[in-house]
Amino acid sequence: MKGRDTTTNLRVAAIGSVPGEIVLDGMGVSRGIAIGTVYLHDAGSISVPERRIPAANLEAERARFADAAERATRQVAVLQEKAQDLGGAAGEELGYLLDAYQQMLHGSRLMRGVAQRIESERINAEAAVQQEINEIVRGFEAMEDAYLAARVADIKDIGRRLLRALTNTPYRPFSALPKAAVIITEELTPADTALLNPAQVAGLATVLGGAESHTAIMARSLGLPSVLGVAGLLTKGIRGGEPAIVDGAKGVVIINPAPATLKTYRRHRADFLRSRRVLARLKDVPAVTTDGARILLQANIELPTEIDHVLASGAEGVGLLRSEFLFMNREDLPSEDEQFEVLKELVTRMDGRTVTVRTFDAGGDKLAPALGCSLGPNPSLGLRAIRLGLARPELLQAQLSAIVRASAFGPIRILIPMVATVEEMRATREMLGDVVRRLKKKGVAMSDPLPALGAMIEIPGAALAADALAWHVDFFSIGTNDLTQYTLAIDRADEAVAHLYNPLHPAVLRLIQFSAEAAMRARIPVCVCGEVAGDPRFTALLLGLGIRDLSMSANNIPVVKQRIRNLDLVAATRRARVIMDQSDSARIAQLLDGFNAGEA
C-alpha cells in the first residue's frame, strides 16, 4: 500500500502487487474494523429551479410552503416515534436531535427567512428554501468551533426534507442491504444513521462529514466503524457488491482488498474485539499507576444524552460539559429556569460524581441570531466566551444562577472559557457573589460550600500568567486544543496548515508545564481536557508533568486507564524532565514514543 497520492487522498498499491486494491484516507470517527460488502447509497438529488411568482400568487406560494413545512413536521414526528422504539444511547441522541428539528420547522430563522424571500424577492418556495439554507450554511461553515460548524449537516437535512415535500420527491430509504453491508455514500443524515441496524450494517464511509457531526455521534452510539470525509470515495468507479474494509480507528477505507490485506485486517479485527472485551472489564477498576499514584479520569460531553455512555465507561465525573447545546437550533435564549432543569437532571443522574459546567463559549459568528451579535472580522479572536459574558452580564448571570441552583442536587463546578486576565476572573467572581446573595434572599437551596470557580487555560497569555491567575480561581482546566492552535497560529480546519498542528511543539508543552506548576504551587487542582488527554500516547508525559486529572471522550477512558495501570509514575516523571529539555518536536516525539514502547 505504497505510493500515497497526497493530492487526491488515494493510495494504490504498486502495479502487479495487489491489482485492483484501492486505499482511501478519511477521518476515523468511530473505532472498530468493518469487513463486508459495498452498498452504494444514493439519496437522490433534488432539482431546484427558480421561478418568478406574480404578486397575485404570493399568498398561494406562502401557503404551499406552510403545507410543506407541516408535512416535514409529520415526517419528523414519525421518526421521533421510531427513536423511542430504538431506545438506548442512540435513541436518546436521535430524540434530542429530532426535537431540535421540530424547533427549526416552527418559527425559526430558517422559516422566517424563507417566508421573507418569497415575499420580498417574489420567488418560488423551493428557491427560497435553497437560498436561505445556503446562507445559513455559509455562516456555520465559517465557525472556528468544530462542534458548532458540524451542525451544517442538521441544517441541510431540514432543507432536504422541505424540498422533498415541496417537489413531492419520494425519499429513497435503504433497501436490499447485503449481509455485513458497508454503506458508501456522499453524506448520511443523523436520522438515517441512527435507524441503521448494526446486525445488518458492518460500517460506513462518506465523502462529507466530520468527527463532531451528529452522524459521527450516532455511529459511535451504535458501535458502527465509520470513516467520514473520504475524498475520492465516489469518483473511483466503486461498485456495489465489491468487498470492502472500513478501519474506523485509522480512518482508512479499502476497496477490493487483496487476500493478504484481508487476512491482516481479520486478525486486526479479532485483536480489536478481544481488546475491547478486556477494556470493558476495567470499568470499575481505579486508574492507579504501578507505583500507586491515583489518577482521576473524567468525561467530556456535548449533549445530555451522552450520560448513559459516560456512566458505562467508568468515568468518575464530567470534566467538561460544553453548555452551548442549550443555545443551539433556536432563535431565543434559554431561560434561567430551562438551564436549571437541564443541569439538575444531569447532576442527579451523575449520582454524586462531579459535573464541571463550562459557561457558554459562544458569540460573534456562532450564535448571532439569538445573541444579537454582529460578525467580527475574526470571530475566534473577537467577542466570545467570557468576554461576551461580561459584556452581556444578563446572559452570564442567568447561567451562573442556574448552576448554583443545580448545586443543591449534587457536586457541580463552574468553568470559565477563554480567560486571558486576572481582571476577568475577578469580575466573574464578583458576579457570582451577587448571584448567590440574590438567591439566598429568595431562600433558594444551594450547596455549601458553593460551586468551585475555575479558569480554562487555552490562551497562551493565560498560561504565561498562570501564577497570578491561580490565586483567583479554585481550579485550572487546560484546553490543549485551542492552546495549541493559538500558540502555533494554526487553524486546524484549514487543510493548508492543519498538518502543522502539533501538541508536542516545545512551546505548547512549556505552556502546559507552566500552568500545571502554577496550580501545584497554589495548591489547586488542574485538569487537562483537550484531545491529548484521551490519547494514551500522551498519558505518560502529562502525568510526568504533574497532571493527575484527565477529561476526555468517554470512548477513550478504558484505553487511557489501561495505559495508566501499566505506567510507573517515577519513570514517567524522569522521562518528562528529559523531554522538557528538548527544543525539537521530532526528538520529543522520539523520546515519548520510545518510552511508551518500553525504553528505559
Give one word for 168, left, alpha or beta, with left for phi > 0 and alpha for psi -120 to 50.
left
CATH 2.30.33.40 correct for 55-167: no
Whether 55-167 shares its CATH topology with 287-596 is answered no
Q: Give the mean pLDDT of the chain.
A: 86
Catalytic residue among 41, 106, 214, 499: 214
Catalytic residue among 41, 472, 527, 529: 529
Does the CA dihedral 88-205-47-369 come out positive or negative? positive
CATH 3.40.190.10 correct for 4-44+174-261: no
List, for residues 247-271, the tens digit of each pLDDT value: 998 999 999 999 999 999 999 999 9
List, for residues 400-424, the tens digit of each pLDDT value: 999 999 999 999 999 999 999 999 9
- pLDDT confidence bin for 376, thresholds 50/70/90: low
> Is 529 assigned a catalytic role?
yes
Q: What pLDDT shows up at residue 214?
A: 67
List, for residues 570-595, the tens digit of each pLDDT value: 999 999 999 999 999 999 999 999 99
DSSP state of 333: P
- pLDDT confidence bin for 150, thresholds 50/70/90: low
Rounded to whole angstroms, the Cα distance separating 35 from 264 reads: 11
> Is 373 assigned a catalytic role?
no
Q: Is the pLDDT of residue 561 over 70?
A: yes
List, for residues 541-559, the tens digit of each pLDDT value: 999 999 999 999 888 899 9
Which of 233-247, 304-318, 354-368, 425-439 is the least confident region? 354-368
Q: Is the pLDDT of residue 494 over 90?
A: no
More confident residue, 238 or 564: 564
H/E stretch holding 438: helix 422-441
Report for 223-232, 308-317, 582-591: range of highest mean pLDDT: 582-591
Three-state SS at 478? strand
DSSP state of 14: P
| Percent of the chain whose pLDDT exceeds 90 | 55
Pairing relationship of beta strands 412-416 and 453-457 according to DSSP bridges: parallel
Mean pLDDT calculated for residue range 10-37: 74
The whole-model pTM stands at: 0.70
Topology classification of domain 287-596: TIM Barrel (3.20.20)
CA nearest neighbour of 193 among 163, 233, 153, 235: 153
List, for residues 69-93, the tens digit of each pLDDT value: 998 898 888 777 766 666 665 666 6
Q: Is the pLDDT of residue 366 over 60?
A: no
The domain limits of the chain are 4-44+174-261, 55-167, 287-596
